[in-house]
Chain A
Amino acid sequence: MFKITLYHYICLAFLIFITGLLGMILSRNIVKILLCTEFMMSAINLNFIAFTVFKDYIFLKGMIFSVYITIISALQSVVCLVLIYIIYKYRKTMTTEEIKE
């Protein structure tokens, strides 16, 4: 029970991912959606790192990839936020339904 296996980490990552997904689907605010993407990315990172620790501890490929994942997700969110700001500047309103168009 207290012996933590790979399965536990997979489960946790899965749960966080699922919650992030649900939040993405069910939220009505754009910032929440973007925030949930970060959750999903970090869950993915956890998954990769767990796999490297338990299986691929010689070459550490998962960890390398997770580095890149973090970088790129951060960039993505920055860009999205900038775009939202610009849209707000021109539309003066911020409803998610209008932005979806």
Chain B
Amino acid sequence: MDILNGIIFYIISILITIITISVILSKKIINSIFYSFIVFFLFGILFFSLNASFNAVMQIALYSSALSIIFVIEVALIDFSSEKNDKFKLKPYHIFSFAGIILLCISIIVFYRETVKYDYVFASYLDSVYKLTDFSNIYRLSSEIMKNNIYSFELTGILLLIVLIGVSVLFSLKGDK
């Protein structure tokens, strides 16, 4: 079973990397949106394999469906054709980013040895009472949120409301900005 898990993980990961790179390198925007849709779907599968079903569903519902549609509408409304030259011009600040990324990779490679040291810790707790798969993810999450983190939940609800109102207001604006 571990092997299967591993194979699935590797396949999905490779797919994700390839498609994200193609998102960046595509010339048209609509293509990149389509690719992003697929990426979010794959992320959902990955989350599902980690027994985080609620997160997976949220990811798919929000990102891959709602946001993609919004992006597509945006692209349809706005005329991006005025950007003609899409060639990549190297500027001085790009170098900083490349250098930083290389440094981060190096640091991660070095950090691997430190993380591996403490991996033995989790193995002994697999037979304990509190296993991840005993109860469903939604049950576990809801019990945690509603008991201890109700405040933040409420806040996000209010935030959603505000954004709703704000968006509708912004759309209906007339006159100066």
Contact = CB atoms under 8 A, between A and B. Distances in A.
Interface of A: 1-8, 10-12, 14-16, 18-23, 25-29, 31-32, 34-36, 38-39, 42, 45-46, 49-50, 52-55, 57-61, 63-64, 66-68, 70-72, 74-75, 77-79, 81-88, 90, 93-96
B36 A70 contact: no
Contact of B71 (A35, A59, A87): A35
Interface of B: 2-3, 5-7, 9, 13, 16-17, 20-21, 23-24, 29, 32-33, 36, 39-40, 43, 46-47, 50-52, 54-55, 58-59, 62-63, 66-67, 70-71, 74-75, 77-80, 82-83, 86, 88, 93-94, 97, 101, 104-105, 108, 112, 115-116, 119, 122, 130-132, 137, 140-141, 144-145, 149, 152, 156, 159-160, 163, 166-167, 170-171, 173, 177
B4 to A, nearest CB: 9
A101 to B, nearest CB: 13
A4 B122 contact: no
Contacts of A35: 23, 32-33, 36, 71
Contact of B170 (A2, A18, A86): A86
Contact of A78 (B50, B52, B167): B167
Secondary structure class of chain B's binding surface, majority of residues: helix
A81 to B, nearest CB: 5
Given A7-B116, A67-B141, A83-B170, A28 B36 contact: no
A96 B156 contact: no
Mostly helix, strand, loop or mixed at chain A's interface? helix
Contact of A60 (B36, B78, B140, B163): B140
Contacts of A10: 108, 115
B21 A19 contact: yes
A90 B105 CA distance: 43
Nearest to B43: A42
B125 to A, nearest CB: 8
